[in-house]
């Protein structure tokens, strides 16, 4: 399995598209709206092999090129790193557009926690998990640390 750096801020799956003679990596609108990335900012992008098999290439096309190490393919699609009902200790990094606290967990996955502010460290219960974001509630008997 490919090791993913803890410095990774965001991970999602997409396809490269051609637009007006340029190749574009489209970013889902939800990722900009929930604060994962910001319009106009610069980011580094790492490309990992997708699940689709690459097109075959002839020996003539590869003459003079060394073959790269094969990239292991995951046995299943990696989903969200949290599950509904799970309890987590999180640190609120920033506020979302609606004023809710935003924490990041493994692979930069976003967890939105209402009623919190940047700097809060608390235990939460995951209440709803979607493909790119999860929602959580502070645990009533836990205090903000």
pLDDT at 136: 96
pLDDT at residue 45 tops 50: yes
The neighbour count for residue 37, using CB atoms within 10 Å, is: 15
| Tokens encoding 96 | 């979302």
| Tokens encoding 129 | 């998990």
pLDDT at 138: 94
Min mean pLDDT across 37-41, 53-57, 73-77, 132-136 is at 53-57
Break the chain into its structural domains and give their ranges.
Answer: 87-138
Mean pLDDT of the chain: 75
pLDDT at 65: 41
- DSSP lists the bridge partners of residue 16 as none
Min mean pLDDT across 36-40, 95-99, 117-121 is at 36-40
Tell me the CATH class for 87-138. mainly beta
pLDDT at 104: 93
Closest-CA residue to 138 (of 100, 83, 95, 93): 100
DSSP E strand boundaries for the chain: 17-19, 22-24, 87-95, 101-104, 110-113, 121-129, 133-138
pLDDT at residue 135 tops 70: yes
Q: pLDDT-derived band of residue 70, with 50, 70 and 90 as boundaries?
A: very low
């Amino acid at each position: 399995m490919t090791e993913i750096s803890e410095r990774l801020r965001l991970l999602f799956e997409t396809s490269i598209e051609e637009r007006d003679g340029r190749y574009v990596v489209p970013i889902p609108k939800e990722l900009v709206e929930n604060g994962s990335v910001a319009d106009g900012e610069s980011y580094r992008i790492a490309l990992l092999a997708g699940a689709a098999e690459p097109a075959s290439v002839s020996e003539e096309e590869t003459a003079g090129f060394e073959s790269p190490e094969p990239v292991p393919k995951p046995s299943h699609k990696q989903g969200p790193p949290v599950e509904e009902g799970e309890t987590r200790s999180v640190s609120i990094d920033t506020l979302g557009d609606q004023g809710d606290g935003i924490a990041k967990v493994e692979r930069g996955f976003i967890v939105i926690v209402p009623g919190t502010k940047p700097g809060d460290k608390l235990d939460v219960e995951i209440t709803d998990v979607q493909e790119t974001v999860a929602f959580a509630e502070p645990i009533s008997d836990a205090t903000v640390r």
